[in-house]
Amino acid sequence: MSTERPHARAPAAGAVPDNLNEPHAERVLAIVMAVAGELAVLRERLDTIEQLAAERNLFTAEEVEAYSAPAAVSATREAWRKAYIRRILRVMHDTFPSTARDDAYKAFVEEVSNGPEQ
């Protein structure tokens, strides 16, 4: 999995806008917009891969759905997911740095990072 993100935008800088006149709502909106931006880039890349695979008869959507990742691939994906969740929650960490040391915060990040239970 490449770590380069040529289509991704640079991280936001500067003060958080105050359009909603509610600081907590602004933080939640910032998180949602960060996730939406990441999802849009991912969807474009996935569509490109699907188009190329279809043009070249490489694999089908059914094969993708049936794929079972080896342990090493699963571990790499889990590490990426944890880093991603931490990046998305950065706005909360930056706003409330003391919460990063709080056990409840750490437990929440760990729970979200691990994804849905199998």
Each domain of the chain, given as residue ranges in start order, spans: 20-67, 68-118
Least confident residue range of 3-7, 9-13, 36-40, 51-55:
3-7
Per residue in 14-62, pLDDT (tens digit) is: 665 666 777 778 888 888 898 899 899 999 999 999 999 999 999 988 8
pTM of the model: 0.54
Q: How far is CA 85 from CA 58, 59, 90, 112, in A?
A: 32, 30, 8, 7
> Residue 89, Cβ neighbours under 10 Å: how many?
20
Report pLDDT for 89.
Answer: 78
**Comparison of pLDDT for 84 and 66, the residue scoring more:** 66
Nearest one of 60, 107, 109, 108 to 85, comparing CA atoms: 109
Q: Is 21 exposed, middle or buried (0-12, 13-18, 19+ CB in 10 A)?
A: exposed
* Residue 22 confidence (pLDDT): 79
CA 69/CA 83 separation, integer angstroms: 19
